[in-house]
Every structure is written in structure tokens, then in C-alpha cells.
Amino acid sequence: MSRLDTLSPGTREFLERPKGLLIDNEWLNPLSGKYFDDVNPSTKSVHAQIARASDADVERAAKAAKDAFYNSRWHNMAPNERGTYLWKLADLMEIHQQELAELDSLDMGMPIRAARYGTVPLAIDHVRYMAGWATKITGESIGVSVGNYLNYTLKEPVGVVGAIIPWNFPLLMAVWKLSAALAAGCTVVLKPAEQSPLSAIRLGELIIDAGFPAGVVNIVTGLGDEAGAALSRSPLVNKIAFTGSTAVGQTIMREAARNMTRVSLELGGKSPNIIFEDANLRQAVSGALMGIFMNQGEVCAAGSRIFVQRGIYEQVLEALIEQSSKLKVGDALDPSTRMGPVVSEEQFVKIQGYIEGAKSQGGKIVVGGSTANQQGFFINPTIIRDVTDDMTVAQEEIFGPVAAVMVFDTIDEVIERANRSWYGLAAGVWTENIRTAHYVAHALEVGTVWVNSYHVYDAAAPWGGRKMSGFGREMGKEALDLYTETKDVWINLDR
Ligand code: ADP
Ligand code: MG
């Protein structure tokens, strides 16, 4: 409990304020009057009561977004004015970055240092990057052959965007979706994850402070199968941008089909991290550890399948074991913590189930496999050696600090095995050989390949998956495609 005393005054004041739904720039009580507990996974204690939006609340929010789309001038506003609002928001986020970091850390267990120096600065940079795009969205003129015509395209905002986000990077996920949608001229209803709604609510306060017109951004906290489902079904919503599990992504896609609501889906992964014999082993080992243990392994792109070439297998394993046992597991708000708790009891139980299952399928746990301390949902960094492709831990996304280490012999073998997955989000390749690097990078069926690095992200670099990892690219200029429709215009030039 004592860690709460270290929270900044801004965070403590925020925690004291009641948490409503942001609709039309007002904080409203949910129509049902219902709230739910927000739990700190480091201590299992409740630190806030969160408004539980129902269908009717979501409809109010979607209506506000629809009205704002047409009436607030948002999509007809001068693009540089839209960009200026985003810049103002980024400046406010910068002023309040300590609070934003503390809120994610408190809510879902992200180590405070990672939040403060990693995800929060990335989120701020993302808003500024997208602010710049507001003035650079252009169509093209097209030479047509059928006659004397001027033909050109317009990129128009898709309308009301429903953004449904997960709990693993609460602020960053909110900002990925919000800032691209707003730059494109869309209005938004954001549904944060029920496990980690605080930074989104604080962001909503900053959005009001930045002066955004009413209804441009609305935030409905609530449960997935209530508020989330209502949003994906709403006829007022033109597009759903979702990040989360593959199973929920499939449900959302089915629901969205009713109204032909556009969807983009960033889903799960089981990403391979491939270490060749000629790799720089010092870099490869620390990259493999960071690849799987960053944010407790609660990352859609976690490098959860570590393939190691036979000649260096024992050596790499030994280094992985040695270094992972040094990772400090503890309260997320402690600045010396390298790995916090997993997000919830549900995840805690699920991850332990995977570890037990691996044992019964013949997996050898060489480090971890245990819980760290009973105060919160702590699981020690866990490494399973000699995993084979048929084991559950080699196939299913665990979303926890569990690495499956596997041995391979040849380059084509490892490509085939890496690709033999339902998922296709990201991959890492460790080699000093430029031909191996490009050969493997081209052959992998994934959205992102990191060579001699892992988990590097930039607002300018497109991000998204293939296969069961979803479709659509967030970040980079491709993100704007998610929030725009192309219109083609023909002008007859004959007199
Ligand atoms: P996880 O299993 O990692 O919690 P989910 O895919 O369940 O991820 O959740 C991601 C987001 O989707 C959360 O905001 C959650 O509330 C929401 N969600 C869950 N179920 C549904 C649903 N049936 N329809 C729409 N959104 C949902
Ligand atoms: Mg929480």
C-alpha cells in the first residue's frame, strides 16, 4: 500500500474525482447508475469506481460523435486547425506525463520506468506525428483515357470511429487510434479496457482542456460484452478500430457486418524470435529477454517463440536463464521494478494453466514457473526449454512472461516452423549475415520484422498483422487509410 504515497499530487487528486462518461464534453453518470471496481494488480486493492456504460450510454455517445461530425465543423475545419488541437493535446500530455505514467502503472502493472520513459513519450510523439498529417492528407489527379475529363480523388473522413482498446498499453493504444482518426477529420467514441480505464479518462480531461469542440471525442468506460458490443453494433458508428484478442476481433467483425461498419483489427500473436549461430550473442540474448518479458509478456508482439540454432543452443539457454533470474519483479510503481504483476486474477490463473500444461506435455521449466509474491498477481519470468511445435505453449498466445525456447538446424526449416502459426504479427531475426537477414525477413509471413533488435516502435513506422493477427496498419501514414474513404470525381471538360 505504501507505494501509493509516492504518487504525484496530480494523480492523487485525479483518483479522488468521480469518474464519469465523457459525452459531448461533459462527464456524465451512466444511465443505469452502475459502476465497477478498478483493481491495482500490484496489491489487489481497489483504487477507483468506474462508470459502467450500457447500450443507451453508448448510443448517447455515438449520437454526440455523429452530431459533432456534421455540426461542430470538425471534418470541414481547416486541417491546420485540427492539427493545432492535436498539438495542444500533446503539450498538455507532456506537462502531465508523470500522472499518465502513474495511472497506467497503477491500473495494469506496467513498470513505472517503462511507462514514464517508454510508452508515455511514445504516445506524446504519436499525437504530434499525426497532428502533422492533418495538413498532408491529399487525393490525386488521374489521367483517364475514355475522353476529355479531369479525374481526381478526395480523401474524406470515414465518419464516427468506435475505438475499442485493450489493457496492455492503455494510453498508447488510445492515442494510436484517436490521433489518426482525429487528424483525418473523424469523430470518436473510445471504449477503454475495463482493467485499465484511468489514463483514458485523464486523457479525456486533457482533451477538454485543449479546447476540442464538444462531441469530437467521447469516452465510454464499461465492459466488453456490454459497452464494447454496443459500439460494434451501433448503426451510428462508421468504423471500428479494435486492438485485442483474436476471439473478440472475430465477434466484432461479425457484429460490424450488420451495418457494413468498416473494421481494422490488431489481434494476437505468437511471434518467433530467431537466433542464428553467427549472431552477436550478447545482443541476441538481451533482445530475446526483452522481447518476451517486456511489460510482463503482455504484448501482442511478444517474442514468445525463441528459436535458437543448435550450435549455440546450450550457451544461449544458459545466458537466458542467468539473466532472467536477475529481472526484478515487484510493485509496478517501484522505480527499480523491471517486471510488474500481470493485469488481473483471470490472466494470473490463465498463465499458470499454460505453465502447468507445458509440464504435462513434457516441457522442461528451467527458470520461473512460480508466483513471486502473494500480495499481487506476480509471476516470475518463466523459460521452458526443448519446446516442440506441437505443444500448446508453442501455438497459443499466453500473454504473460513465458518463453518457449526451441532448437533448429537450418534456415529453411526455421522459416517454415516460424510461419507454421495461425498468427503473423511480428518476428525477430538475429544474425550478422546480411543475406540471412534479408532472406528471412522476406520469407516471414508477418507485419513487422526486427533484425538485431526487438520491440522498436515509431509513430512513422506502419504496424499491424497478417493471418489471425488481423489486418490494417496503424501508425505511419498508412494509418490514415483506416480513417478515410476515397471519393473519385469526374469533370467533363468538353464544351
Ligand atoms: P483481453 O482478452 O486481452 O482482455 P479482449 O479482446 O477481451 O482482450 O479485450 C479488448 C477490448 O475489447 C476491451 O476493451 C474489451 O472490453 C473489449 N471487448 C471484449 N469483449 C467484447 C465484445 N464482445 N465486443 C466488443 N468489445 C469487446
Ligand atoms: Mg486496473
Residue 1 has pLDDT above 60, yes or no: no
Alpha-carbon distance 407 to 388, whole Å? 9
- How much is the average pLDDT of 472-494? 98
Q: Give the pLDDT of residue 132.
A: 98
Alpha-carbon distance 27 to 9, whole Å? 22
User: For ligand 1, atom 21, which residue shows the shortest CA distance?
Assistant: 224
Task: Write out pLDDT tens, residues 140-179.
Answer: 999 999 999 999 999 999 999 999 999 999 999 999 999 9
209: nearest Cα among 301, 287, 95: 95
User: For ligand 1, atom 24, which residue shows the shortest CA distance?
Assistant: 229
Q: What is the pTM of this model?
A: 0.98
Check if the beta carbon of residue 181 is closer than 8 Å to that of residue 207. no
Banded pLDDT at 190 (limits 50, 70, 90): very high
Between the CA of 380 and the centroid of ligand 2 the distance, in Å, is: 20
Task: Write out pLDDT tens, residues 108-124.
Answer: 999 999 999 999 999 99
Given the residues 99, 102, 300, 474, the one annotated as active site: 300
Between the CA of 103 and the centroid of ligand 2 the distance, in Å, is: 9
382 by DSSP, 3-state: which?
Answer: strand
Residue 309 has pLDDT above 60, yes or no: yes
- How much is the average pLDDT of 63-92? 95
**Identity (one letter) of the amino acid at 247?**
A
Query: Ligand 1 pocket check: which of 198, 248, 469 to mutate, most ligand atoms within 8 Å of Cβ?
Result: 248
DSSP conformational letter for 42: T
Between the CA of 394 and the centroid of ligand 1 the distance, in Å, is: 24
Element (H, E) at 418: helix 411-419
Query: Ligand 1 pocket check: which of 164, 198, 237 to mutate, most ligand atoms within 8 Å of Cβ?
Result: 164
| Known catalytic residue at 432 | no
| Known catalytic residue at 186 | no
Given the residues 266, 298, 397, 474, the one annotated as active site: 266
CA distances (Å), 220 to each of 4, 167, 368, in order?
Answer: 26, 15, 38
- Residue 263: nearest ligand to its CA? 1
Q: What's the fold here for domain 272-458?
A: Aldehyde Dehydrogenase; Chain A, domain 2 (3.40.309)
* Mean pLDDT for all residues in the chain: 97
**Cβ < 6 A, ligand 1 pocket:** 164-167, 191, 193-194, 224-225, 228-229, 232, 244-245, 248, 251-252
User: What are the residues facing 46 on neighbouring strands?
Assistant: 39
Between the CA of 90 and the centroid of ligand 2 the distance, in Å, is: 24
Identify the architecture of domain 4-267+469-487 in CATH.
3-Layer(aba) Sandwich (3.40)
Domain boundaries, the chain: 4-267+469-487, 272-458
